Chain A
Amino acid sequence: MTEQSNLKILIADDTDTDRLILQTIVSKEGHQVICARDGVEAVEQFEKERPDIVLLDALMPNLDGFGAARQIKELAGEELIPIIFLTSLTETESLVKCLDAGGDDFLQKPYNRVILQAKIKSFNRMREMHRTMLEQRDQIQIHNNHLIQEQTVAKQVFDNVAHSGCLDAANVRHYLSPMAVFNGDVLVAALRPSGSMMVLLGDFTGHGLPAAIGAMPLASTFYGMVQKGFALSDILREINQKLKSILPVGVFCCATFLEVDFHERTVTAWNGGLPDCLIYRPKTGTVDHIKSKHLPLGVLSNIQMKVDCLHFELDPGDKVYMWSDGIHEARDGAGEMFGEERLLNTFHNSNNKPSLFDDVMAAVQGFIGDNEADDDLSLVEIEMVAPEEVSSKSMPSYSTEGPGLMEWRLQFEILPSTIRYFDPLPLLLNIVTEVPGLRSHSGSLYTILAELYSNALEHGVLGLSSELKASPEGFAEYYAQREERLANLQNASINFAISHDTRENGGNLTIKVKDSGKGFEYDNKLLDLSSKKGYCGRGIPLIRTMCESLKYLGNGNEIEVVYSWRSDR
């Protein structure tokens, strides 16, 4: 709209002379004039004509200008209808009364044409600005509602992906606070086929959608690979590679990745950029730190990336705590941060109570008070428990109703360069679990394949003696030799022959593993469950309990097991 535009202007004055003068001045400016003789008429005309600007005499019969102004402002609602009081009132008190009634300005008698024109112009500008502002406000509101709606849907997807897996397991507790709709923190957990639990807590640079977006590939890579039995280092490399390639420079993910093995009672940890994780041992009241030794994920290329981990032994009841820096950087009213010292004090003052998780949350929230957290708060607690206590309702189950791999045979041979750098187990497990119904056996199958493979590799191909593992010193020696021999490996092979027959409600999976080693003297009759003890040879009796049959063949460099399974349904 331009300033020349025609406006509709209401003039209310009980004096005919004054009204006539004003009417003439205003119509000469090209505006449309509506007249009223008193306040009541003014309000009626306003409702009927909806003028853009109102000129009101202060003192009028029936209803004076103040009363009329109040009613007109009321009727105008959100719209700005400028009201200019026509007055010869000079006392401050009366002028204040005009403003209180909703008047926007005054026009003193005798009227000055130039001033009146200027006022109409400037109030029209203000009216238009106000209207634009209202339109924009409404648009912003619409956009905002739309955005929130979209984000709510996206958050559901995000939460399903980024805060999921076996977080509901009985030995896991966690807290995640969303700062916006989205959280820059990602927490994923899943059980490996071997039964150990992998947990990754990540904190992406920034907040909201840009921070959340990187969580998607992270989570899908994590779940896909954990389930297939990949090692922690492989999963880390894959995630790092993905993030490095998709995130812009300067956006990265500080992360801690843990593998908790409930059989071996160990935790393997990689920390890149997050505050120390703590291992709390209630028996002794001591706390171990899992320090950040690496750059965050998504910073280095895979060639420069280091995946060496820290290892800790855990006793039943020991708890591992992971957090993002939101807890350390939570601020109180005075802007001071919670800090690591307060966190450690909470641990030291816990008196071995089982409520440490709640104590930490209470300490942080008590410290923040009513202040809003300015970073995402994430806290995870994992307790070392017996393997059978680790179960999760929400682990993805795959109903493979349709026909899949039913009857088949597979020959797979790996040679030195592959043996040195490649872990064939995820690949094999992946194929085997394509058999409808075998997916739910992946834990046992992984154990069987892993034991057979490590026997073939370590005792067969590398010729290591399991006797060495009988003592703690020998244990280290064993692994030193393993590394050395693996590096110098030549002319070796490990051959897998796997076949499957489907039966009614189940099937038989036959696995033969043959290595290029010289074998050993064996007696299949001695393969009963109680024969071997100590550090060594644990694998074979374990497999024996899981399989229908187990026997050595040839020179002892070949082993055959039959895994017989029945469908639960």
Chain B
Amino acid sequence: MSDHTALDQDTLEMLKDVMEDGFNDLIMTYLTDSEVRVAALAEAIKSQDSEAVRREAHSLKGSSGNIGATGLAGLCLVVEHKGRDGDLCGLEENLSDIRAAFAIISDSLKALLN
């Protein structure tokens, strides 16, 4: 199993370069946004809404990928596919993996803030 908490350094360098002064804002936006998404995903799983599961996982996958959190994006992809296929088995377990990974990534990203 690959490391779900890894951050792609090239992507982060590119973002620093592009965002310049806006890099802190971007990280904060990602963190806030992702917390909302994770909560929404939990809600969707709880209510067995496979379409909402798919959509929330998809969004979190996209933004995580963009920020360089490729491992987390991979976890989200699994959930997205389950949502798409209407396969709701073991989602609680997936959700806790995502939560755990996001907590560690959160800390790593916060450490990058000036």
Query: Which residues from chain A sit less than 8 Å from chain B, CB to CB?
Result: 14-18, 20-21, 24-25, 28, 57, 59, 61, 88, 109-111, 113
Query: Is B30's CB under 8 angstroms from A88's CB?
Result: no
Chain A residues with Cβ below 8 Å from B33 are 15-17
Given A18-B63, A20-B22, A110-B67; 11 other pairs, CB 8 A cutoff: A14-B59, A15-B33, A15-B63, A17-B29, A21-B15, A21-B66, A24-B18, A59-B58, A61-B55, A88-B58, A109-B66
Query: Is A21's CB under 8 angstroms from B11's CB?
Result: no
Once A15-B59, A15-B63 are accepted as A-B contacts, the answer to whether A113 and B18 lie under 8 Å apart by CB is: yes
Chain B residues with Cβ below 8 Å from A57 are 62
In angstroms, how far is the closest chain B Cβ from the Cβ of A98? Answer: 14
In angstroms, how far is the closest chain A Cβ from the Cβ of B16? Answer: 11
Once A16-B33, A17-B26, A24-B19 are accepted as A-B contacts, the answer to whether A59 and B66 lie under 8 Å apart by CB is: no
Could you list 28 A-B pairs, sorted by A, with CB under 8 Å?
A15-B59, A16-B29, A16-B32, A16-B33, A16-B63, A17-B26, A17-B63, A18-B63, A20-B22, A20-B26, A20-B29, A21-B15, A21-B18, A21-B66, A24-B18, A24-B22, A25-B18, A59-B58, A59-B59, A61-B55, A88-B62, A88-B65, A88-B73, A109-B62, A109-B65, A110-B11, A110-B67, A110-B68
Q: Convert B8-48 into 0s and 1s, putting 1 for each residue whose CB lies closer than 8 angstroms to a CB of A.
A: 00010011001100100110011011100000000000000
In angstroms, how far is the closest chain B Cβ from the Cβ of A337? Answer: 66
Q: Which 3 A-B pairs have the closest CB atoms?
A: A17-B63, A17-B30, A110-B65
Cα A15 to Cα B37 in complex, Å, equals 9
Cα A279 to Cα B109 in complex, Å, equals 104
Cα A110 to Cα B64 in complex, Å, equals 9
**Closest Cβ neighbor of B59 among chain A residues:** A15
Chain B residues with Cβ below 8 Å from A110 are 11, 65-68
Query: Which residues from chain B sit less than 8 Å from chain A, CB to CB?
Result: 11, 14-15, 18-19, 22, 25-26, 29-30, 32-34, 55, 58-59, 61-63, 65-68, 73
Chain B residues with Cβ below 8 Å from A61 are 55
Chain A residues with Cβ below 8 Å from B26 are 17, 20-21, 24
Cα A25 to Cα B18 in complex, Å, equals 6
In angstroms, how far is the closest chain B Cβ from the Cβ of A46? Answer: 22
**Closest Cβ neighbor of B17 among chain A residues:** A113
Query: Is B63's CB under 8 angstroms from A28's CB?
Result: no
Query: Is A17's CB under 8 angstroms from B18's CB?
Result: no
Once A59-B55, A88-B58 are accepted as A-B contacts, the answer to whether A17 and B19 lie under 8 Å apart by CB is: no
Query: Is A20's CB under 8 angstroms from B25's CB?
Result: yes
